[in-house]
Structure 1
Amino acid sequence: MTEIEDRWLSVEEISKYLGVSNDTVYRWIDKHRMPAHRMGRLWKFKKDEIDEWVKAGGASSHDQRTE
C-alpha cells in the first residue's frame, strides 16, 4: 500500500530528502512558495507536492533582494 509513502514529512525529513539545510527549507517556504502546510507550530510536507514544485523550478528561483 501507499500509506507509508503518502505520510506527512517534517522539516528535518524534507531537508534530508532534498539534501539542503533546515534553514534553506524555511527560506524556500517564505521566499519561493514551497508547498508546506502549517499544523500548529510545525510545518509538514507531502513528498509528491515537493517533487512537483522542484520539477516546476520552484527551488531554482534566485533571491532578488538588494539589501
Structure 2
Amino acid sequence: MSKEYEEMNVEKWVNLEDVAVHLSLSQDTVRTWIKEGKLPFYKAGKRYKFKISEVDEWVRTGKIKE
C-alpha cells in the first residue's frame, strides 16, 4: 500500500468544538452528552477527541437520544 493511499484513508481527530459545529449543537450540549455517555470520545490529557465517523455512526444508529 502506498504512503499516499494510507494518508488519504487516515481519519483525523477532531476536538469538542468541531463536533459541536458538525452536529449543530452548543459546546455545552456536547459536554453534557459526553458526561451522559451519549457520544463516543477519547481523552488526550484534559482534551476530548473524537472521530467524526464514530459520532455519525452513533447518530445513524439512534444511540443519541435527548
1:2 to 9, 17, 39: 9
**Does 2:26 align with 1:21?**
yes
Query: Can you give the 5+ residue segments of structure 2 that lack an aligned partner in the other structure?
Result: 1-7
Q: Which AA in structure 1 matches 2:25?
A: V
Larger Rg: 2
Structure 1 stretches lacking a partner, 5+ long: 63-67
Query: Does structure 1 residue 36 correspond to structure 2 residue 41?
Result: yes
3-state secondary structure, aligned to 1:58: coil
Whether the 8 Å contact between 1:32 and 1:59 is mirrored in structure 2 is no
Q: Runs (4+) of structure 1 moved beyond 6 Å?
A: none
As a proportion of its length, which structure holds more strand? 2
Number of residue pairs matched by the alignment: 59
Equivalent AA in structure 2 for residue 53 of structure 1: W
Percent of residue pairs identical:
36
CA contact (8 A) 2:34 2:41 kept: yes
Larger helix proportion of the pair = 2
Report the Cα distance in structure 2 between the residues aligned to 1:58 and 1:28, rounded to whole angstroms: 11
